[in-house]
Amino acid sequence: MELDNFGMDFEDYFPSMIGSLGAEGFIGELCNGFRLLMDVNKGLITFESLKVNCFMLGLEVRDDELLCMLMEGDLDGDGALNQMEFCILMFRLSPCLMDGPKLCTNTHQGVDPMLM
């Protein structure tokens, strides 16, 4: 699983993932990420599931950062993220996507995406 950087380097990590995986592979990785973080009983990412699963993944994310992520991604206001909301949030956290991968690589000169 390639989620070591999850939560820490969205903006650096995801564009390079898209570059190496292609859009469809990227969506697949997002779905894997969603499943890692979701509450298996509800099929949703809740504050509790996010907190527990980030801890399980060895990520130190503050409560207010988790809440911020939930609020940012929660489009229908139920306080949790479904798979669609999660994917949309991840895309929004990757602003380079809007400009295309080529522009993106210009901001990471000297860094080989495969090494990240």
Question: Under the rule (CB under 5 A), what is the footprint of Ca ion?
Answer: 74, 76, 78
Gap between the Cα atoms of 15 and 67, Å rounded = 24
d(CA 75, CA 56): 26
In the complex, minimum distance from the CB of residue 68 to Ca ion, in angstroms, rounded to a whole number: 15
CB of 62 to Ca ion, least distance (A): 21
Count Cβ atoms within 10 A of the Cβ of residue 21 and give its class: 0-12 exposed, 13-18 middle, 19 or more buried.
middle
Q: Which is nearer to Ca ion, 27 or 74 (CB)?
A: 74
**Of 84 and 111, CB closest to Ca ion:** 84
| Least separation in angstroms between CB 37 and Ca ion | 14
Question: What six digits make up the tokens of 7?
Answer: 């939560």
User: Going along the chain, which residue ranges are E strands?
Assistant: none
Paired tokens of 48: 């509790």
Minimum CB distance to Ca ion, residue 74 (Å): 4
Residue 87 vs 104, nearer CB to Ca ion: 87
Token pair of 107, please?
Answer: 């901001």
Q: Is the CB of 39 or the CB of 74 nearer to Ca ion?
A: 74
